[in-house]
Amino acid sequence: MRSAVALLIAFLILLPAAATGNQQSTLYGWVIVPAVDGGGGGSLLNVTVLIKYPGTGQARVMTEVGENNVDELTRSSMIMAFMTSSLLAGYHWGLFDVVITIKTRERVSGPSGGFAVALLTYSMLLSMRNVSLSEYAVTGAISPEGLSSRVGGVDTKCRVAQSQGLYLMLPTSNARDLTRACVRNLPVTGLLEAYEIMSGMSPLAGNLTLRMPERFNPAMRRAALELINLTEAARGALSPQARQNLARAREQLDRSPYSAASFAFAAYAEALRIQYEQAVQRGGPGQLRQEIERVRAEQRELRKELDSREREGSVYYVEFLATAYTRLADANSSLMAAENVLNRGGSVAEAINYLSFARARIETVKVWLRTAEAVKEDRPKIFEQDVKRAVILFGNYVEAATNYAIRYVEHVIRYYSPANAESLRMGAQIVDSLRKEAKAALEANNYVAAIGFYREAFSRSISTLFVPPDIADRAFADDYRRELKNVLYLLSSYAYSKGLVSGLSPAYLEFSRVRYEYGDFGASVALMQEAVASTVLWSSLAISRNLPPRVSAPGNVGGESPLPSPEQPLLTPLTYAYALVFIAAAFTLGMILAMWLILRISWRVPSSYLCREREVFQDEIAQLPPPQGR
């Protein structure tokens, strides 16, 4: 009986603990976002973020009157903000559900609240506490690699922020748009710098040494020599730009082989441009269409060769093979652009630029295919199922970035009618085409190809969404290079912690340094962005299994709101149900025990008492005199 009771008690105690997997908790935060209305006036909006854990990656963006009052660009920028901040904080966005509420009843449009939401969410997830950013009014569009991108109306926004005693935190690229009246301003390049200024703490633990695989430099040196020879063999005089790139290629041949190959590629593309111009002068524009078809046929043959290769090996092999697909996609995009220009009767010179770039890209496909084979047996190894998982996670991020970029282009063309509207529209079409190719490759189980196409779509989305300042001086370049380097090291640390490495990121980092030394500051920053873009692939896979720790929230923002780990979750409705079962069972057990004790007492204590009373009574009867007759 005692054993049964003990087992029942243990079962009832452990029963609620077995049901904690679905328990949910929340984090809450708010930030002030300045806005410009249709009449040119300014206002301050309160934007709140509610994060639930565990979740399914669902994101909702709304105003006080619901979701229909938010345009698609605002929605996509806010979703990108949440995903970017999650990535940089080291957690996969699919772990959470988020509700972003813009406290207004008016219709909301534009991307200028994205950076504020990203900064708030990053602060919340990094500290796992409720957060209020009450000292700043924050404006800026968010770029998928964590940079704060240019927005409009910053002087009006600064005026309304100053009127409430706040500093305006704005993109560095907008700093020159401010008038002297805006004295309370704080330009920032990206999330990490903004967080460091706001909190006084750097989110970085230290730097990493990013290394290229051993066989990479010899492969790039060979590629550089081949491209140099092709350039010199091209018919026609070389332009000053081509000569400069050739000189740089030779100078970097032994110092930085990847830089040498890149300079040689640029020289070869320029030599092809001159060659095509001469061909058009001799035979007319029809020569271009013939050359486009010839390059497209070569592209199709290379695609067949790429598709025939194994789809697992070293991490470097997968990355470089995906890069071959990326270069193939780049060539195809340039061919599409050339055809588009010709079909709409555009500039022949513009079509030639696209065609020469595409033809030169074909040569780099061959280079990356050889380089991939050279590192196939290196370590670490990765198998096809891991590659599949990587492309799904990476693709999810890229889908958000491309959707954001396409909406951004639509917004700019509709409201600003820029002079380069046709070029922007063409770029958005290419981004959309690339992500469709990636989806098709994914459905065909060609995961390496899907990575390549997504990677190219991602790169083009970043260049669309990040509107840099005129990076003609070293100070701007230094600011952006510092921020991007910190992002690169942060994401690389996540990847390295799971044994994942990138061979492309250190190559881009090295080339960025070389371009910086030559004074090509804008190109140097763009290459840092490419390095970060390459790192997102492996870091998104690395963080996919990270789980947040249990912490508590400060009392000044809604009281305690801990975000638990699976080992220490909070109560949910399901847990309450189990608790009620436990209480009812414990009550029933208590009643059973009480009745058992009562019966036990009634059986033993009263019976012994009655026995003693009977004995006394019998003794008294024995002492009585015998009865007398009448």
At residue 171's C-alpha, the angle toward residues 168 and 173, to 5°, is: 130
pLDDT tops 70 at residue 290 = yes
CB atoms within 10 A of CB 22: 11
Do 290 and 308 meet the contact criterion of CB atoms below 8 Å apart? Answer: no
**For the chain, percent of residues with pLDDT exceeding 90:** 69
Are residues 132 and 553 in contact, defined by beta-carbon separation less than 8 angstroms? Answer: no
How far apart CA 291 and CA 287 sit, in angstroms, is: 6
Question: Residues with Cβ < 8 Å from 46, sequence gap 6 or more?
Answer: 30, 31, 32, 33, 103
The one-letter amino acid at 163: S
Name which of 533, 324, 298 is nearest 449 in CA terms. 324
Q: What is the pLDDT of residues 607-628, one digit of tens each?
A: 443 344 444 445 544 554 554 4
pLDDT score for 471: 64
The whole-angstrom separation of Cα 21 and Cα 566 is 6
Give CA–CA dist 446/38, Å, rounded.
48
Tokens 């780990």 belong to which residue?
565
Report pLDDT for 162: 94
| Structure token pair of residue 109 | 């449009």
Fold held by 22-199: Ribosomal Protein S5; domain 2 (3.30.230)
pLDDT digit string (tens) for 320-355? 999 999 999 999 999 999 999 999 888 999 999 999
Q: For residue range 503-548, what is the model confidence (pLDDT) as tens digits?
A: 999 999 999 999 999 999 999 999 999 999 999 999 999 999 888 8
Considering only CA atoms, which of 101, 67, 65, 69 is closest in space to residue 82?
101
417-445 pLDDT tens trace:
888 898 899 999 999 999 999 999 999 99
Instruction: State what percent of residues in the chain have pLDDT above 70.
Output: 82
Name residue 93's amino acid.
Answer: W
Examine the pLDDT at 201 and tell me if it is beyond 90: no
The more confidently predicted of residues 462 and 599 is 462
Residue 570 pLDDT > 60: no
Q: What are phi and psi of 20, to 5 degrees?
A: -90, -5
Q: Residue 284: which pLDDT band, with cuts at 50, 70 and 90?
A: confident
Residues present in the chain in total: 630
Tokens of 196: 């460091």
Q: What is the mean pLDDT of the chain?
A: 85
| Angstrom distance (rounded) from CA 81 to CA 69 | 19
The full set of domain ranges for the chain reads 22-199, 217-313+326-370
Angle between helices 421-443 and 315-343 (to 10 degrees): 140
Q: Is the peptide bond before 54 cis (omega within 30 degrees of 0)?
A: yes
Rounded CA separation 589/239 (Å)? 94
pLDDT tens digits along 74-108: 999 999 999 999 999 999 999 999 999 999 999 99
What CA–CA distance (Å, rounded) separates 102 from 87? 23
**Pairwise CA distance, residues 382 & 379, whole Å:** 9
- The structure tokens listed for 553 are 């929230």
pTM: predicted TM-score of the whole model, two decimal places: 0.83
Instruction: Average the pLDDT over 250-258 and give the result.
Output: 97
pLDDT of residue 569: 33
Q: What phi, psi does 25 have (nearest 5°)?
A: -140, 175
As a whole number of angstroms, the distance between CA 394 and CA 615 comes to: 93
Q: How far, CA to CA in Å, does 183 sit from each of 108, 169, 291?
A: 28, 12, 57
pLDDT value at position 206? 58
CA distance 204 to 295: 46
Rounded CA gap, 368 and 306, in Å? 10
Residue range 5-25, pLDDT digits in tens: 444 444 444 444 444 445 678
Pair 451, 537: CB distance under 8 Å? yes
Phi, psi angle pair for 488, to nearest 5°: -60, -45
